[in-house]
Structure 1
Amino acid sequence: MNYRIKASSDYNIDGKIHIKQSHIVFDTTGKTAKTLPNPAEIFLGSLASCILKNVERFSLLMKFQYNYTKLEIRAKRLDNPPRMDSINYHLNIFSEDTKLNVDLLKKNIEKHGTIYNTLKQVCTINGKIIRI
């Protein structure tokens, strides 16, 4: 598989990521630091979308149903050189389906997630999945 995105910015105006028919605006100027995501948050958002896409994917393969999910990701950044050092995620899956095997789902997410596997090469990732 190959991927392609485009991005743009103008001087003193926030940046935009152009993916298919979506446009994601992000902070590049500092003027919108409290309202728009910064590059590190976009980066973590990529991991979040990877995890949640795999929940959906494996719900079909593992034949379980869920109502919705809530995911929180926290990361620790080091300064020299600037990089993510550790990432922790906490995923709640709201499901009454007894066929949901949380341990197997976690294993599959961590084995088959493209973004997950890319990140685990360069930093520590720990996660917890809870069925509620």
Structure 2
Amino acid sequence: MTTAPLTYTVSASADAHGALLRAAGDDLALETRWQPDAPSTHPGPAELLAGAFAACLLKNVARSSALLPFAYESAQVEVTMHRQDAPPRFTALEYTLHLVTAEPAHRVELLHRNLQKFGTVYTTLAAVCAVSGTVTTSAPAG
């Protein structure tokens, strides 16, 4: 059975005072100014892409918890992306996903393989740059 492709639409606007992204009914302030020495106060394009990757991991942990099933109390992810100037592109992405779970190590590894195989943002970025990461765990309190 084949399903129709999903479509995602966002809108963004900018003026001299700032920029705004509207997605899924939410507004997010953006950093779009070209002032290399000024501190950034909002996420720019690179942070948004890293954030999309992080959201992909977290959403697929939640999805896997229902499908496998896989029990966890919480998940936290840190993503680092590396960019080169010439030609401008991202060259690598590294992540650490931390889960609070009582699941055994082989189930955590199965979850990690599923994240690598079925995450849309994950597989898209892995097609154009090196993606590597680890999953760590800690036992639930109590």
Taking structure 1 as the reference length, the TM-score comes to 0.91
Q: Is it true that 1:126 corresponds to 2:136 in the alignment? A: no
Which digits, 9 at most, give the CA deviation of each residue in 1:63-110, with x for residues without a partner?
122111111111111110211100000000011244871111111111
Number of residue pairs the alignment of both structures matches: 131
Structure of greater Rg = 2
Q: Is it true that 1:6 corresponds to 2:11 in the alignment? A: yes
Q: Is it true that 1:84 corresponds to 2:124 in the alignment? A: no
- SS of 1:101 mapped into structure 2: helix
Distance 2:38 2:29 in 1: 10
Identity %: 33
Which of residues 22, 26, 31 is equivalent to 1:22?
26
Taking structure 2 as the reference length, the TM-score comes to 0.85
Distance 2:47 2:91 in 1: 14
Distance 1:99 1:75 in 2: 27
After the TM superposition, list the runs of 4 or more consecutive aligned residues in structure 1 that deviate by more than 4 angstroms: none
Q: Is it true that 1:115 corresponds to 2:110 in the alignment? A: no
**Where in structure 1 are there 5+ consecutive unaligned residues?**
none
**What's the offset of the Cα at 1:2?**
1.2
Distance 2:48 2:134 in 1: 21
**What's the offset of the Cα at 1:37?**
1.0
Choose 72-81 or 31-40, whichever is displaced more.
31-40
Q: Is it true that 1:54 corresponds to 2:60 in the alignment? A: yes
CA distance 1:78–1:95, change in 2 (3 Å): same
Distance 1:114 1:59 in 2: 17
**Where in structure 2 are there 5+ consecutive unaligned residues?**
1-5
